[in-house]
Amino acid sequence: MESAVPPTERARYAVAGARANVAATLGSQPRGDVNRNNAFAGLLFLSILIALAGLLALLIQAGVEGAPAISTNLLTEPPSTIDTANAGFRPALIGSVMMIVFVIVLIVPLGVGSAIYLEEYADGTKWWNRIIELNIQNLAAVPSIIYGILGLGLIVRGPLSLGFILLAGAITLALLVLPVVIIAAREAIRAVPPSIREGSLALGATQWQTIRRQVLPAAIPGVATGVILAVSRALGETAPLLLVGATVFVTFDPTPLEGNYSALPVQIFQYATRPQEDFQTLAAAGIMLMLVVLIAMNSVAIWLRNRYEQKW
Amino acid sequence: MEATSIGAAGGGRPSLEAPNRRTGEKAIKGLLALCAVLSVLTTTAIVIALIGPTISFFQTVSFGEFFSTDWSPTFNPPSFGVFDIIMGTLNVTLWGMLFAIPIGLGAAIYLAEYASRRVRKVVKPIIEILAGIPTVAIGFFAVSFLLPIIQNVWPGEFLGGADKPFLAIAAGLGIGLLIVPIIASISEDAMSAVPQGLREGAYAMGATKAKVATRVVFPAALSGIVASIVLGISRAVGETMIVVLAAGSTPNATLNPVESIQAITSFVAVVATGDISQGSITYESVFAAGTVLFLMTLALNVISIRLVRRFREVYD
C-alpha cells in the first residue's frame, strides 16, 4: 500500500518522535551544567571582546590625538623642531619608499628561489635540507633587533663596510623579512597539485620548464600575498633601523648610497620620545598615516588571494 | 628544437637518451639551492657578527662580573652585571604573558569550539590585524593611553606606587596585545585539527560543550597550545619598541610591575643609537647583550618548532 507521506518525511517524524521521547523521560541536562556552560562561553566571548577593544582603542587613540596634525604637510614637509605646526614626514617617507623598492628587488628572487628549491628539488630526508628548513623556521622568530646587530656588525661595518647609508638599512630589512616570503611562497607552491606537474612532465617538459610554465603561474597569487605581507612588515620595522643609521632628524631628501636617511616608523619614534604636546600629535598623525598604508596593503593582499586563488 | 636533435641522433631509430646533458637544468637547480643556502648564511652571519665583539668583551669583563647585578655600561667606571637587564626582559614578558595567555586561549577556544563559521571568518582576520600593527604604534599606545590609565587606577602606594614616568606593566600590556593574536591563531589551528570523532565521543557520553572544550579538545591540542605560548614568549623577549617607549631605561633587577626598567632589547636600541665608537667596551657590551638575547630566543624557538612538529604529525 502506498503511503501518503514520502519515506524521508516519515524518517524525520520518527527521529523527532524518538527525540521527544528521550527528552521526556531523561529530562534536559542538569541546571548546574547548563549554567556553568553558559558562564564559560561568556568568559570566552569576553576575551575576544577585550582583544578587539584593545585594537579599537589603539586606532581611536591614534586618530583622536593625531587629528589636529592631519594635512598634506605630513607628506610634503620635512620634520622640524621649531616650526612644529608645519612639520611632516617627507624625508622619512621617501626613505621608506626607497628602502621598500630595494627590499622587493632583493626578497622576490631570493625568497621565491629558495621556496622553489625546497619544494621542487630538495630531498626532505637529507640532513642538509632539514637544516635549511629548521634554520628558516628559526630565522622567522629571531628578534628584529638582532638583525640590527647583524647589520651594524657586518653590513655597516665589518666585511661589507657600507657605512650608515640607506642601502645598508634596506639589506638589513630584506634579511629580516626573507623568511616570511620563503614560508608563504612554499605554501603557495605546495598548493599546486602534483597532477599538474605530472601532466607537464608526461608531455616531455623538463623539470624547470614544468616549474616555470605550470607551477609558478599557478602559485603567483600566493607568492604575491606573501611578498605584500613581508613588505608591510618591513615598512613597520623600527628597531633594526635604529642600529644601522636611520637617524634622528633628516631634513633633506635622502639618497640611496650616501648620507643620512630616515624611515617613517623611525621618525614616528623620534617624535614619540619628545614629551611636548606638538610632537605627540605629530607621532599620532604619523601612526595614522602608517596604519592607513599598511591596512591598504593588507587589503590588497587579501583581495589578491580571494580573487586569483585557484581551487583545484 | 628538441625534436630535430632526437631525429639527428640515431639515424634510423631515435635515441632514448636525453638530447643534451641538461646543463641548463642543473645550473638552475644549483642557483636555486644557492638562494636557499643564503638563509643558512644569514644565521651564520648573525653568529659571526655577535661572537667577535663578544669575545673581546669578555677579555675585559670577567664572567663573574657579567653574571651579577648592576648594569651601567655608560657610567665611569662602567659596570656590567647583565642580570639587571635580563630581569627587565623577564619583568615585561611576565606581565605581558599574564595578559596574553588567558585572553589568547579564551579567544582560541571560542573561535574553535563556539563561534559559527561566519563569525570565525570575520573575527579571526580582525584579531590577526593586531599582529600586523607596527610595534612602534603599540608602544605609542602603551605610553600615551595605557600608562596614564594605570597611573590613575593603581591603588595608592601598593608595590611602591605607580607615579614613575615609565612603568614595566604598561609595556607588558602592550606586549600582551601583540602576543594575543599569536597565541589565538596558532592555538585555534591546533584545536581545529583535533579530529571530530573525539568531540562526538564525548558528547555521546553526555558531556556539555564546556567539558568537551576543556577536557577533550584542550588536552588533545596541548602541544600546539604550548608551542603558541612558547613562541609568544620568544616574541615578548625580543620585543624592542614597546619596551623602549613605555618601560623607561633604568636597569633594575625587579619583577615589580610599577617600576621603570630596562630590557636587553631596549639597552641595545638606546645605546647603539647614540654615538659610540667602534671597539670601545660600550660598543662591545651591545654585542654581548645581543648574544644573551639571541641564545634566549634560540632556545625558545627550538622548543616551539619541535612542539609544532609534534602536533602536526599526530593529526595530519
List pLDDT tens digits, range A153-187: 999 888 888 888 999 999 999 999 999 999 999 99
Residue B214 sits at φ, ψ, to 5 deg, of -85, -35
Chain B contact present for A139, CB below 8 A: yes
Q: What is the DSSP letter of A259?
A: S
Most confident listed range (A80-84, B169-173, B222-226): B169-173
Tell me which chain A residues have a C-beta less than 8 angstroms from the C-beta of B214: 40
Whether A249 has its CB under 8 Å from any CB of chain B: the answer is no
Chain-chain contact of B238 with A146 (C-beta, under 8 angstroms): yes
Shortest Cα distance from B62 to chain A (angstroms)? 23
Asked if A107 is an interface residue toward chain B (Cβ–Cβ < 8 A), one would say no
Average pLDDT over residues A241-246: 86
pLDDT tens digits, one per residue of B105-134:
999 999 999 999 899 888 888 888 888 899
Interface check for A84 against chain B (CB to CB < 8 A): the answer is: no
Q: Three-state DSSP class for A206?
A: coil
pLDDT value, residue A61: 94
Query: Do B213 and B254 form a contact (C-beta atoms < 8 A)?
Result: no
Q: Which residue of A has its CA nearest to B165?
A: A275
Burial tier of A243 (Cβ tally within 10 Å: 0-12, 13-18, 19+)? buried
Q: Whole-angstrom Cα distance, residue B37 to residue A128?
A: 10
Residue B35 makes CB contacts below 8 A (sequence gap 6+) with: A109, A110, A111, A113, A114, A117
Please, what is the Cα angle at A70 between A64 and A74, to 5 degrees? 135
Alpha helices, DSSP H, located in chain B = 2-10, 23-60, 63-66, 83-109, 117-132, 135-141, 147-153, 168-192, 196-204, 209-211, 218-220, 222-238, 241-246, 264-273, 281-315
Question: Average pLDDT for residues A76-82, to the nearest whole number?
Answer: 83
Question: Whole-angstrom Cα distance, residue A270 to residue B122?
Answer: 35
Q: Note whether A147 contacts B: Cβ–Cβ < 8 A.
A: yes
Is A304 in CB contact (< 8 Å) with chain B?
Answer: no
Q: Is the separation of the CB atoms in B251 and B88 below 8 Å? A: yes
Mean pLDDT taken over chain A: 88
Residue with cell 565521543: B201
**Residue of A33, A38, A48 to mutate for B, most B C-beta atoms under 10 A:** A48
CB contact under 8 A, A48 and B129: no
Note whether A272 contacts B139, CB cutoff 8 Å. Answer: yes
Instruction: Look at B42 and A175 and tell me if their CB atoms are within 8 Å.
Output: yes
Q: Is residue A1 scored above 70 in pLDDT?
A: no
Q: What percent of chain B has pLDDT over 90?
A: 61
CA atoms of A93 and A265, how far apart (whole Å):
9
Is A81 within 8 Å of chain B by CB? Answer: no
Place of cell 620635512: A78
Tell me how many degrees the CA angle A283-B247-A176 measures, rounded to the nearest 5: 70
DSSP alpha helix (H) spans, chain A? 7-26, 31-66, 73-76, 90-116, 127-139, 144-150, 166-190, 194-202, 207-210, 216-236, 239-243, 264-272, 277-308
B24/A145 Cβ within 8 A: no
Asked whether the beta carbons of residue A50 and residue B35 sit closer than 8 angstroms, the reply is no
> Rounded to a whole number, what is the distance in Å from the CA of A3 to chain B's nearest CA?
34
Kindly report, residue by residue over B243-295, the tens digit of the pLDDT: 999 998 889 899 999 999 999 999 999 887 766 777 788 889 999 999 999 99
- Split at pLDDT 50, 70, 90, the class of B4 is very low
A118/B278 Cβ within 8 A: no
d(CA B35, nearest CA chain A) in Å: 5
Query: Which residues partner with B79 through β-bridges?
Result: B72
A73-308: CATH topology: MetI-like fold (1.10.3720)
**Cβ-nearest to B43 among A139, A157, A238:** A139
DSSP state of B252: -
Q: What percent of chain A has pLDDT over 70?
A: 94
Q: Which residues in chain A have Cβ-Cβ distances shorter than 8 Å to B141?
A: 57-58, 61-62
Q: Over chain B, what is the mean pLDDT?
A: 88
CB B264 within 8 A of CB B242: no
Count Cβ atoms within 10 A of the Cβ of residue B59 and give its class: 0-12 exposed, 13-18 middle, 19 or more buried.
Answer: exposed
CB A171 within 8 A of CB A244: no
pTM: 0.87
Q: A95, exposed or middle or buried, with CB in 10 Å at 0-12, 13-18, 19+?
A: buried
Sorted by where each begins, the domain ranges of chain A are 2-69, 73-308
Residue A196, chain B, CB below 8 Å: the answer is: no
Are the CB atoms for B241 and B226 separated by under 8 Å? no
Q: Determine the average pLDDT of the residues in A32-44.
A: 86
Instruction: Map B162-214 to HEC letters.
Output: CCCCCCHHHHHHHHHHHHHHHHHHHHHHHHHCCCHHHHHHHHHCCCCHHHHHH
For an interface test with B, give the residue of A31, A47, A136, A155 to mutate (most B CBs within 10 A): A47
- Residues A54, A58, A61, CA angle at the centre, nearest 5°? 130
Query: Count of CB contacts below 8 A, A vs B?
Result: 268
> Which residues between 1 and 60 in chain A have a beta carbon less than 8 angstroms from any beta carbon of chain B?
29, 33-34, 36-37, 40-41, 43-48, 50-52, 54-55, 57-58
Q: Among the residues of A27-119, which ranges form H helices?
A: 31-66, 73-76, 90-116
Interface-testing mutation among B32, B109, B228, B285, with chain A (most A C-beta atoms within 10 A): B32
Given a cut of 70, is residue B163 above it in pLDDT?
A: yes
Q: What SS3 class is residue B81?
A: coil
| Chain B interface mutation, best of A56, A58, A271, A298, highest count of B Cβ atoms under 10 Å | A58
**Which residue matches cell numbers 623538463?**
A206
In this structure, are residues B46 and A142 in contact, taking their beta carbons and an 8 Å threshold?
yes
Angle at the Cα of B10 from the Cα atoms of B6 and B14, rounded to 5 degrees = 50
- Give CA angle at B215 (B209, B216), nearest 5°: 80
For the cut 90, the answer to whether the pLDDT of residue B83 exceeds it is: yes
Tell me, yes or no, if A182 comes closer than 8 A to chain B by beta carbon.
Answer: yes
